[in-house]
Amino acid sequence: MMRKVPVVLMRGGTSKCVVLRLEDAPGAGDERDRFLLRLLGSPDPRQIDGLGGGASTTSKVVMVGPSGRPDADVEYTFAQVSVQEAKVDYRGNCGNCASAVGPFAVQEGLVPLRPPVTEVRIYNTNTRKLIVAEVPTSAGGVREEGDVAIAGVPGTGAGETLWFLHPENTSGHGLLPTGQALDVVPTSLGPVRATFVDAANPVVFAAAEDLGMAGTEVVPLDLWPAAVRLACEQVRGFAAVQLGIAQTPEAAVEVSRNIPKVGMVRAPAAYLDIYGREVPSGDQDVTARILSMATLHPAFALTGAMALAAAATVPGSIVHAATGGTASASLRIGHPSGVLTIMRRLGPDGSLVALGIQRTARRLMAGDAFVPWDSSRMVQAGLERGS
């Protein structure tokens, strides 16, 4: 028996996701997890029997529906579907996929068209935070063609601005979950200085030099020294324990590979990006790398960039030190695909009011997905083993 479901495949920023109406997905629970695994073709490194792209940045699902909140037009739930395991993680949000929500809402008639810019107020159920998307539109609908280029995406598109309102404290542990700007984490490589910040998503940033890394690496994570990979996971495990996600640092990898994320930072340094182009140090305020689902992100997780921009406002943090304490209205982050700029709105007391980013997004296809619903026994068994 095939289950037919209307879906839209979209690129949002530097991620690709399957977007569907919330009403077309099963209710929250094991049935939804099995459905999403079959929809994307997991577990399988190629996701050959589904719509996933075989990488963490292309194995994502966004479920969108109208919101009953007075301050939101629509709400969405983000699902990070593991490629090689029968696991679906709803902890945290994907900022890049968030840029697909506004255009989808307009195209699906969930929000009335108001050209030239249609404002879509979005509530993310994962983080319980509000996002305002300024979607470029015309009388004909969403504009997707334009001259805005973003690092990590070929060509150009119409620029969409996203504002993450009061992004701190998605986990209930405040902006600084450990209560301090700087922690020293014991690892197998020795002590590693780290800053754990929660803005848009919980992310722990480690000092690249303490990991024995230049901080300008662009090669895949599996080519990094094994000792460094272990130390990164130990730093992430430390943060997971602080959030109460895992009882021990070692257990974090089994409980959640997605949240918290771990990154490394250093002062601006020139390097060659994944395309072989030089990224001058003068074009950056900080050089950073972030890991997502146990892989090196080919660009930078957008929620991770939000967390980085937030951490840069905290004196004493390693990010504040790496940036030289810049208090500008924007922060330029050098990553494996180039440079990403985050806009910051601060209150009179220096508190975060909003973090913004310009993205591009577009529909890649729309149609019906066919999910072999009566063939889920293997996935069900794997789900039960991996839960």
Predicted TM-score (pTM) of the model is 0.88
* In contact, 83 and 382? CB cutoff 8 Å: no
The predicted pLDDT at position 379 comes to 46
* Residue 127 belongs to a domain: yes
Residue 372: helix, strand or coil by DSSP? strand
132 and 267 within one domain: no
110 and 21 within one domain: yes
The predicted pLDDT at position 347 comes to 83
205 and 144 within one domain: no
* In contact, 383 and 87? CB cutoff 8 Å: yes
42 and 83 within one domain: yes
* In contact, 22 and 7? CB cutoff 8 Å: no
39 and 152 within one domain: yes
Alpha-carbon gap, residue 125 to 75, rounded angstroms: 7
Per-residue pLDDT of the chain (387 residues; tens, 9 = 90+): 889 999 999 999 999 999 999 999 999 999 999 999 999 999 999 999 999 999 999 999 999 999 999 999 999 999 999 999 999 999 889 999 999 999 999 999 999 999 999 999 999 999 999 999 999 999 999 999 999 999 889 999 999 999 999 999 998 999 999 999 999 999 999 999 999 999 999 999 999 999 999 999 999 999 999 999 999 999 999 999 999 988 898 888 887 778 899 999 999 999 999 999 999 999 999 999 999 888 999 999 999 999 999 999 999 999 999 999 876 789 999 999 999 999 999 888 877 899 999 999 999 999 999 998 764 444 444 444 333
Alpha-carbon gap, residue 198 to 204, rounded angstroms: 8
375 and 256 within one domain: no
Find the CATH number of the domain harbouring 321: 3.10.310.10
The predicted pLDDT at position 376 comes to 45
| Helix and strand element counts for the chain (H, E) | 7, 21
* In contact, 301 and 352? CB cutoff 8 Å: no
* Residue 327 belongs to a domain: yes
* Residue 171 belongs to a domain: no
Q: Residue 41 is part of which domain span?
A: 2-159+361-386
